[in-house]
Chains A and B, each alone.
Chain A
């Protein structure tokens, strides 16, 4: 079972470059989300989606865009990378929202912005 797949696993960017972190799940989950993890700060929610065509901001949305054109895919776009966006990014999905269900996490993308 593939579960939640994130690509790439590692990425180095220069300040000002743009890129898209890919996230795909094959479990037909409605809820998908993006987190960033920084040392000593736990996970912080960037954006989330409760279904195709619906997205909303999390705790730290600035500098990131998302879209949800299909149930399976939830890409995260960095418009103009900054060193402050150096972090580990996790995508997660959950069936029918979070009220009673666990989230399944991808393996993560380690991003360095120079």
Chain B
């Protein structure tokens, strides 16, 4: 499944499928990007980050892709599990000074067993 964050805020997938969550960022000066996971009743939790000098970064079951030409980020989750159900936010930041991420609206991921 695939979602464009702001226009399709909910993504439903079956357990075991791969999930792709997309995000368009707004500031061409942003050079640090972060994906957060927010479960119900909790604050955002860091998943993975990427700097603007990279196109791809992999973590455990997650991969972030960055396309600076079109100001687009995606988060790929492999073998999605019910515990992955949450709202996912991309955030952007301009290096220099304090880290103050600017969040997008978010995409709700629902994983069906």
Chains A and B come from one and the same complex:
no
